Chain A
Amino acid sequence: QKEVEQNSGPLSVPEGAIASLNCTYSDRGSQSFFWYRQYSGKSPELIMSIYSNGDKEDGRFTAQLNKASQYVSLLIRDSQPSDSATYLCAVSNTGNQFYFGTGTSLTVIP
Chain B
Amino acid sequence: DAGVTQSPTHLIKTRGQQVTLRCSPKSGHDTVSWYQQALGQGPQFIFQYYEEEERQRGNFPDRFSGHQFPNYSSELNVNALLLGDSALYLCASSLEWARNEKLFFGSGTQLSVL
Are B102 and A34 in contact, CB atoms less than 8 angstroms apart?
yes
Are B55 and A96 in contact, CB atoms less than 8 angstroms apart?
yes
Are B101 and A43 in contact, CB atoms less than 8 angstroms apart?
no
Check: A92 CB closer than 8 A to any chain B CB. Answer: yes
Q: CA A90 – CA B45 in complex, angstroms?
A: 11
Q: CA A90 – CA B35 in complex, angstroms?
A: 13
Residues of chain A within 8 A (CB-CB) of B48 are: 96-97
Most buried by A among B58, B105, B108: B105
Are B56 and A96 in contact, CB atoms less than 8 angstroms apart?
yes
Check: B111 CB closer than 8 A to any chain A CB. Answer: no
Are B42 and A43 in contact, CB atoms less than 8 angstroms apart?
no
Are A44 and B43 in contact, CB atoms less than 8 angstroms apart?
yes
Smallest Cβ-Cβ distance to A43: which chain B residue:
B105
A42-B108, A43-B106, A94-B99 known, 14 other contacts, Cβ within 8 Å:
A4-B42, A31-B100, A43-B88, A43-B90, A43-B108, A46-B102, A88-B43, A98-B33, A98-B103, A99-B45, A100-B35, A100-B43, A100-B44, A102-B40
B residues with CB within 8 A of A:
33, 35, 40-45, 48, 55-56, 58, 88, 90, 92, 94, 99-108
